Amino acid sequence: MGSQIPCRNLIGPRRPIRARITGPAGRPAAQRADELLAVACLLAGNTTPIRAAVRLTGTTVSSHNVSTFLATLTRHPHGADVLRTLILLADHLDAHGAPIDYARRRALFTARSRFIDPLVWLELQRRLRSNSGLGPVHAERWLFHTLTGSPAHLAHPGIAPSTSAQRQHYQRFRWRILPAEAELLHHTARTLLDEHGIDEPVHWTPQLPVHALRDLQLPGPDPHSISPDRLQQAVPGSDFSVAQLARTLETTTAHVVHLLAQHPVDWSPPRFRRTQRTANRIGQWRTWYEQDHLSLQAIADRERTSLAAVRLALLKDGTQLRPAGSYPGRPRRR
Protein backbone atom coordinates (compact mmCIF):
# COMPACT_ATOMS: atom_id res chain seq x y z
CA MET A 1 0.00 0.00 0.00
CA GLY A 2 1.28 3.49 -0.81
CA SER A 3 2.69 5.03 2.35
CA GLN A 4 1.26 8.47 1.56
CA ILE A 5 -2.40 7.39 1.94
CA PRO A 6 -3.74 9.13 5.09
CA CYS A 7 -5.37 6.17 6.80
CA ARG A 8 -6.35 7.54 10.20
CA ASN A 9 -9.94 8.44 9.44
CA LEU A 10 -10.67 5.12 7.80
CA ILE A 11 -10.96 3.67 11.27
CA GLY A 12 -11.30 6.95 13.18
CA PRO A 13 -14.53 8.96 13.63
CA ARG A 14 -16.48 6.38 11.57
CA ARG A 15 -14.56 3.27 12.62
CA PRO A 16 -16.09 -0.09 11.65
CA ILE A 17 -17.30 -1.83 14.79
CA ARG A 18 -16.65 -5.24 13.22
CA ALA A 19 -12.91 -4.59 13.49
CA ARG A 20 -13.16 -4.42 17.29
CA ILE A 21 -11.28 -7.29 18.91
CA THR A 22 -12.53 -8.11 22.39
CA GLY A 23 -11.26 -10.39 25.11
CA PRO A 24 -13.11 -13.12 27.04
CA ALA A 25 -14.95 -10.55 29.18
CA GLY A 26 -16.17 -8.63 26.13
CA ARG A 27 -13.83 -5.70 26.72
CA PRO A 28 -11.61 -4.31 23.93
CA ALA A 29 -8.38 -6.26 23.60
CA ALA A 30 -6.42 -3.02 23.19
CA GLN A 31 -6.88 0.61 24.07
CA ARG A 32 -6.92 3.04 21.10
CA ALA A 33 -7.62 0.13 18.76
CA ASP A 34 -8.79 2.53 16.03
CA GLU A 35 -5.34 4.15 15.86
CA LEU A 36 -3.59 0.78 15.97
CA LEU A 37 -5.73 -0.54 13.11
CA ALA A 38 -4.92 2.56 11.05
CA VAL A 39 -1.20 1.96 11.51
CA ALA A 40 -1.65 -1.73 10.65
CA CYS A 41 -3.42 -0.73 7.44
CA LEU A 42 -0.36 1.29 6.40
CA LEU A 43 1.86 -1.73 7.01
CA ALA A 44 -0.09 -4.04 4.70
CA GLY A 45 1.76 -5.06 1.54
CA ASN A 46 4.97 -3.08 2.01
CA THR A 47 8.13 -2.87 4.08
CA THR A 48 7.36 0.40 5.86
CA PRO A 49 8.80 0.28 9.40
CA ILE A 50 6.28 0.51 12.19
CA ARG A 51 7.81 3.73 13.47
CA ALA A 52 7.46 5.34 10.03
CA ALA A 53 3.82 4.22 9.77
CA VAL A 54 3.10 5.68 13.20
CA ARG A 55 4.62 8.99 12.11
CA LEU A 56 2.62 9.06 8.85
CA THR A 57 -0.70 8.65 10.65
CA GLY A 58 0.21 11.33 13.19
CA THR A 59 -0.73 9.15 16.15
CA THR A 60 1.15 8.83 19.44
CA VAL A 61 0.95 5.06 19.88
CA SER A 62 4.30 3.32 20.23
CA SER A 63 5.86 0.70 17.99
CA HIS A 64 5.56 -1.72 20.90
CA ASN A 65 1.79 -1.05 21.11
CA VAL A 66 1.42 -1.86 17.41
CA SER A 67 3.51 -5.04 17.60
CA THR A 68 1.57 -6.27 20.65
CA PHE A 69 -1.76 -5.56 18.97
CA LEU A 70 -0.79 -7.40 15.79
CA ALA A 71 0.33 -10.37 17.89
CA THR A 72 -3.05 -10.33 19.64
CA LEU A 73 -4.79 -10.36 16.26
CA THR A 74 -2.89 -13.43 15.11
CA ARG A 75 -4.07 -15.35 18.21
CA HIS A 76 -7.70 -14.22 18.10
CA PRO A 77 -10.32 -16.56 16.54
CA HIS A 78 -11.37 -13.79 14.12
CA GLY A 79 -7.93 -12.21 13.84
CA ALA A 80 -7.01 -13.70 10.46
CA ASP A 81 -10.16 -12.31 8.84
CA VAL A 82 -9.63 -8.89 10.45
CA LEU A 83 -6.11 -8.82 9.00
CA ARG A 84 -7.53 -9.92 5.66
CA THR A 85 -9.97 -7.00 5.80
CA LEU A 86 -7.11 -4.57 6.43
CA ILE A 87 -5.30 -5.95 3.37
CA LEU A 88 -8.45 -5.52 1.26
CA LEU A 89 -8.76 -1.95 2.52
CA ALA A 90 -5.11 -1.23 1.68
CA ASP A 91 -5.58 -2.65 -1.83
CA HIS A 92 -8.75 -0.62 -2.28
CA LEU A 93 -6.95 2.60 -1.35
CA ASP A 94 -4.03 1.79 -3.64
CA ALA A 95 -6.48 1.33 -6.51
CA HIS A 96 -8.89 4.19 -5.83
CA GLY A 97 -7.16 6.60 -3.47
CA ALA A 98 -8.99 8.81 -0.98
CA PRO A 99 -10.89 12.07 -1.61
CA ILE A 100 -9.50 13.71 1.55
CA ASP A 101 -5.95 14.87 2.26
CA TYR A 102 -5.86 14.35 6.01
CA ALA A 103 -2.18 15.28 6.26
CA ARG A 104 -3.05 18.76 4.97
CA ARG A 105 -5.97 19.03 7.38
CA ARG A 106 -3.84 18.00 10.34
CA ALA A 107 -1.28 20.66 9.38
CA LEU A 108 -4.04 23.29 9.22
CA PHE A 109 -6.18 22.42 12.22
CA THR A 110 -4.13 20.54 14.84
CA ALA A 111 -2.82 23.73 16.48
CA ARG A 112 -6.22 25.44 16.34
CA SER A 113 -7.99 26.06 19.65
CA ARG A 114 -11.29 27.54 18.39
CA PHE A 115 -13.55 26.01 15.74
CA ILE A 116 -17.02 27.30 16.60
CA ASP A 117 -18.54 30.49 18.02
CA PRO A 118 -19.34 29.53 21.64
CA LEU A 119 -22.33 31.89 21.79
CA VAL A 120 -23.93 30.21 18.76
CA TRP A 121 -23.44 26.78 20.31
CA LEU A 122 -24.75 27.80 23.73
CA GLU A 123 -27.85 29.41 22.21
CA LEU A 124 -28.61 26.17 20.37
CA GLN A 125 -28.10 24.21 23.59
CA ARG A 126 -30.50 26.51 25.40
CA ARG A 127 -33.21 25.86 22.85
CA LEU A 128 -32.73 22.10 22.57
CA ARG A 129 -31.92 20.73 25.99
CA SER A 130 -33.54 20.91 29.39
CA ASN A 131 -30.00 20.75 30.80
CA SER A 132 -27.86 23.05 28.67
CA GLY A 133 -24.72 22.47 30.72
CA LEU A 134 -22.78 21.13 27.71
CA GLY A 135 -20.27 23.86 26.97
CA PRO A 136 -18.70 24.27 23.53
CA VAL A 137 -15.62 22.18 24.37
CA HIS A 138 -17.22 18.93 23.12
CA ALA A 139 -18.29 20.71 19.93
CA GLU A 140 -14.67 21.87 19.47
CA ARG A 141 -13.46 18.29 19.95
CA TRP A 142 -16.04 16.94 17.49
CA LEU A 143 -14.93 19.40 14.82
CA PHE A 144 -11.24 18.68 15.33
CA HIS A 145 -11.90 14.94 15.32
CA THR A 146 -14.04 15.06 12.17
CA LEU A 147 -11.87 17.46 10.19
CA THR A 148 -8.48 15.86 10.90
CA GLY A 149 -9.41 12.24 11.58
CA SER A 150 -7.22 12.48 14.69
CA PRO A 151 -8.54 11.42 18.11
CA ALA A 152 -9.65 14.30 20.28
CA HIS A 153 -6.75 13.85 22.73
CA LEU A 154 -4.35 15.00 19.97
CA ALA A 155 -6.08 18.39 19.62
CA HIS A 156 -4.82 21.71 20.96
CA PRO A 157 -4.28 21.46 24.74
CA GLY A 158 -7.05 24.02 25.26
CA ILE A 159 -9.70 21.59 23.97
CA ALA A 160 -8.12 18.13 24.16
CA PRO A 161 -9.52 15.82 26.86
CA SER A 162 -6.70 15.24 29.33
CA THR A 163 -8.26 12.67 31.67
CA SER A 164 -10.04 9.37 31.21
CA ALA A 165 -13.29 10.90 32.46
CA GLN A 166 -13.08 13.73 29.93
CA ARG A 167 -12.47 11.25 27.10
CA GLN A 168 -15.48 9.21 28.21
CA HIS A 169 -17.66 12.33 28.36
CA TYR A 170 -16.65 13.22 24.81
CA GLN A 171 -17.43 9.73 23.52
CA ARG A 172 -20.82 9.97 25.24
CA PHE A 173 -21.42 13.34 23.56
CA ARG A 174 -20.78 11.79 20.14
CA TRP A 175 -23.61 9.29 20.39
CA ARG A 176 -26.05 11.47 22.34
CA ILE A 177 -25.83 14.35 19.88
CA LEU A 178 -29.14 15.76 18.66
CA PRO A 179 -29.92 16.20 14.95
CA ALA A 180 -29.90 20.01 15.10
CA GLU A 181 -26.52 19.93 16.88
CA ALA A 182 -25.10 17.58 14.24
CA GLU A 183 -26.41 19.87 11.50
CA LEU A 184 -24.75 22.94 13.04
CA LEU A 185 -21.44 21.09 13.51
CA HIS A 186 -21.46 19.76 9.94
CA HIS A 187 -22.24 23.26 8.59
CA THR A 188 -19.41 24.72 10.68
CA ALA A 189 -16.95 22.09 9.42
CA ARG A 190 -17.99 22.78 5.83
CA THR A 191 -17.49 26.52 6.37
CA LEU A 192 -14.00 25.99 7.81
CA LEU A 193 -12.97 23.89 4.81
CA ASP A 194 -14.37 26.48 2.40
CA GLU A 195 -12.42 29.24 4.15
CA HIS A 196 -9.21 27.35 3.29
CA GLY A 197 -10.30 26.60 -0.28
CA ILE A 198 -10.58 22.86 0.42
CA ASP A 199 -13.09 21.23 -1.92
CA GLU A 200 -13.40 17.90 -0.10
CA PRO A 201 -16.21 16.10 1.70
CA VAL A 202 -16.37 16.86 5.40
CA HIS A 203 -15.83 13.19 6.20
CA TRP A 204 -15.53 9.99 4.21
CA THR A 205 -15.64 6.24 4.74
CA PRO A 206 -14.35 3.82 2.09
CA GLN A 207 -16.84 1.23 0.86
CA LEU A 208 -15.37 -2.19 0.17
CA PRO A 209 -17.22 -4.44 -2.30
CA VAL A 210 -19.79 -6.60 -0.52
CA HIS A 211 -18.59 -9.77 -2.25
CA ALA A 212 -15.06 -9.21 -0.90
CA LEU A 213 -16.30 -9.50 2.69
CA ARG A 214 -18.96 -12.17 2.15
CA ASP A 215 -16.89 -15.16 3.31
CA LEU A 216 -15.06 -13.42 6.14
CA GLN A 217 -15.93 -14.11 9.78
CA LEU A 218 -15.66 -10.76 11.52
CA PRO A 219 -16.34 -10.00 15.19
CA GLY A 220 -19.44 -8.10 16.17
CA PRO A 221 -22.74 -7.49 14.34
CA ASP A 222 -23.07 -6.13 10.83
CA PRO A 223 -23.19 -2.30 11.21
CA HIS A 224 -25.86 -2.10 8.49
CA SER A 225 -28.16 -4.76 9.95
CA ILE A 226 -30.26 -2.07 11.70
CA SER A 227 -31.69 0.72 9.55
CA PRO A 228 -31.82 4.37 10.70
CA ASP A 229 -35.64 4.18 10.63
CA ARG A 230 -35.67 1.20 12.97
CA LEU A 231 -33.24 2.98 15.28
CA GLN A 232 -35.45 6.08 15.28
CA GLN A 233 -38.52 4.04 16.20
CA ALA A 234 -36.72 2.28 19.05
CA VAL A 235 -35.45 5.43 20.77
CA PRO A 236 -37.97 6.76 23.33
CA GLY A 237 -39.11 10.37 23.18
CA SER A 238 -36.97 11.34 26.16
CA ASP A 239 -33.74 10.38 27.89
CA PHE A 240 -32.76 6.73 27.46
CA SER A 241 -30.27 4.05 28.44
CA VAL A 242 -28.00 2.74 25.68
CA ALA A 243 -28.03 -0.69 27.33
CA GLN A 244 -31.84 -0.79 27.25
CA LEU A 245 -31.83 0.35 23.63
CA ALA A 246 -29.38 -2.43 22.76
CA ARG A 247 -31.72 -4.97 24.37
CA THR A 248 -34.67 -3.55 22.43
CA LEU A 249 -32.77 -3.84 19.16
CA GLU A 250 -31.25 -7.21 20.15
CA THR A 251 -27.70 -6.11 19.51
CA THR A 252 -24.63 -4.88 21.38
CA THR A 253 -24.12 -1.54 23.08
CA ALA A 254 -21.12 -0.89 20.80
CA HIS A 255 -23.39 -1.34 17.78
CA VAL A 256 -25.99 1.06 19.19
CA VAL A 257 -23.35 3.68 20.02
CA HIS A 258 -22.02 3.42 16.46
CA LEU A 259 -25.50 3.82 14.97
CA LEU A 260 -26.38 6.82 17.13
CA ALA A 261 -23.13 8.56 16.20
CA GLN A 262 -23.87 8.02 12.50
CA HIS A 263 -27.61 8.73 12.61
CA PRO A 264 -28.48 11.23 15.40
CA VAL A 265 -32.00 10.86 16.76
CA ASP A 266 -34.13 13.40 18.59
CA TRP A 267 -34.53 12.12 22.16
CA SER A 268 -35.08 15.57 23.72
CA PRO A 269 -38.20 16.14 25.88
CA PRO A 270 -41.41 16.99 23.96
CA ARG A 271 -41.32 20.68 24.93
CA PHE A 272 -37.81 21.04 23.52
CA ARG A 273 -38.69 19.09 20.37
CA ARG A 274 -41.48 21.59 19.73
CA THR A 275 -39.04 24.45 20.34
CA GLN A 276 -36.59 22.89 17.90
CA ARG A 277 -39.27 22.46 15.25
CA THR A 278 -40.38 26.06 15.68
CA ALA A 279 -36.80 27.25 15.25
CA ASN A 280 -36.48 25.22 12.06
CA ARG A 281 -39.79 26.50 10.63
CA ILE A 282 -39.71 30.16 11.62
CA GLY A 283 -38.15 31.23 8.31
CA GLN A 284 -40.96 29.61 6.36
CA TRP A 285 -43.58 31.15 8.64
CA ARG A 286 -42.12 34.59 8.10
CA THR A 287 -42.15 34.09 4.33
CA TRP A 288 -45.78 33.02 4.39
CA TYR A 289 -46.69 35.97 6.58
CA GLU A 290 -44.73 38.76 4.88
CA GLN A 291 -44.62 37.67 1.24
CA ASP A 292 -47.66 35.43 0.80
CA HIS A 293 -49.80 37.53 3.19
CA LEU A 294 -51.16 34.51 5.06
CA SER A 295 -52.82 35.27 8.37
CA LEU A 296 -51.44 33.97 11.65
CA GLN A 297 -54.39 31.62 11.91
CA ALA A 298 -53.83 30.28 8.39
CA ILE A 299 -50.18 29.56 9.23
CA ALA A 300 -51.19 27.87 12.48
CA ASP A 301 -53.72 25.71 10.64
CA ARG A 302 -51.22 24.79 7.95
CA GLU A 303 -48.60 23.81 10.54
CA ARG A 304 -51.11 22.15 12.90
CA THR A 305 -50.05 24.28 15.82
CA SER A 306 -51.63 26.99 17.93
CA LEU A 307 -52.18 30.61 16.96
CA ALA A 308 -50.32 31.67 20.10
CA ALA A 309 -47.26 29.60 19.15
CA VAL A 310 -47.06 31.24 15.72
CA ARG A 311 -47.60 34.76 17.10
CA LEU A 312 -44.97 34.40 19.83
CA ALA A 313 -42.44 32.82 17.45
CA LEU A 314 -42.79 35.62 14.89
CA LEU A 315 -42.58 38.30 17.56
CA LYS A 316 -39.45 36.73 19.00
CA ASP A 317 -38.00 36.58 15.47
CA GLY A 318 -38.53 40.34 15.10
CA THR A 319 -41.42 40.22 12.62
CA GLN A 320 -43.64 43.30 12.58
CA LEU A 321 -47.17 41.96 12.99
CA ARG A 322 -50.06 43.48 11.05
CA PRO A 323 -53.31 44.56 12.67
CA ALA A 324 -55.81 41.75 12.77
CA GLY A 325 -57.76 41.34 9.53
CA SER A 326 -55.34 43.31 7.37
CA TYR A 327 -52.48 42.68 4.98
CA PRO A 328 -50.11 44.96 3.01
CA GLY A 329 -51.91 46.83 0.22
CA ARG A 330 -55.37 46.26 1.62
CA PRO A 331 -57.16 49.46 2.70
CA ARG A 332 -57.96 49.46 6.40
CA ARG A 333 -61.51 50.11 7.56
CA ARG A 334 -62.20 53.35 9.38
Using pLDDT thresholds of 50, 70 and 90, give the confidence band for residue 12.
very low
What percent of the chain lies above the pLDDT cut of 70?
Answer: 82
pLDDT at position 273 is 58
Residues of the chain by 3-state class (helix, strand, coil), percent to 5: 55, 0, 45
Question: Rounded to an integer, what distance in angstroms lies between the CA atom of residue 154 and that of residue 175?
Answer: 20
Distance CA 241, CA 254 (A): 13
Task: Reduce the secondary structure of 223-263 to three states and give it as a string.
Answer: CCCCCHHHHHHHCCCCCCCHHHHHHHHCCCHHHHHHHHHHC
More confident residue, 96 or 219: 96
- Residue 166 Cα distances to 146, 153, 162, 213, 277, angstroms: 18, 10, 7, 36, 31
CB neighbours of residue 74 within 10 Å: 10
Confidence (pLDDT) at 128: 76
Q: Each residue of 261-280: pLDDT tens digit?
A: 989 988 876 655 566 666 67
pLDDT confidence tier of residue 115, bands split at 50, 70 and 90: very high
Separation CA 102–CA 204 (nearest Å): 11
End-to-end alpha carbon distance in the chain: 82
Rounded Cα distance between 53 and 90, Å, is 13
The listed range with the strongest mean pLDDT (14-28, 60-74, 160-174, 185-199) is: 185-199
Q: Which of 196, 198, 102 is nearest to 150 (CA)?
A: 102
Q: How confident is the model at residue 326 (pLDDT cuts 50, 70, 90)?
A: low
Highest mean predicted confidence (pLDDT) among 123-127, 145-149, 209-213: 145-149
Which residue in 117, 172, 112 sits closest to 144, CA to CA?
Answer: 112
Query: pLDDT tens for residues 149-207?
Result: 888 999 999 999 989 889 989 989 999 888 888 999 999 999 999 999 999 999 888 88
Mean pLDDT taken over the chain: 81
How far is 315 from 328, CA to CA, in rounded Å? 18
> Per-domain residue ranges for the chain?
8-98, 106-195, 221-262, 270-316
The pTM is what?
A: 0.72
Q: Looking at residues 35-51, what average pLDDT do you find?
A: 83
CA distances from 119 to 107, 124, 176, 322 (A): 27, 9, 21, 32
Name, of 7-16, 60-69, 140-149, 213-222, the range with top average pLDDT: 140-149
Q: What is the mean pLDDT of residues 83-88?
A: 87
Phi, psi of 192 (to 5 degrees): -65, -40
C-beta atoms surrounding 40 within 10 Å: 25
pLDDT digits (tens, 9 = 90+) for 233-255: 898 766 778 899 999 999 988 88
User: Quick check: 114 and 140 in contact, CB under 8 A?
Assistant: yes
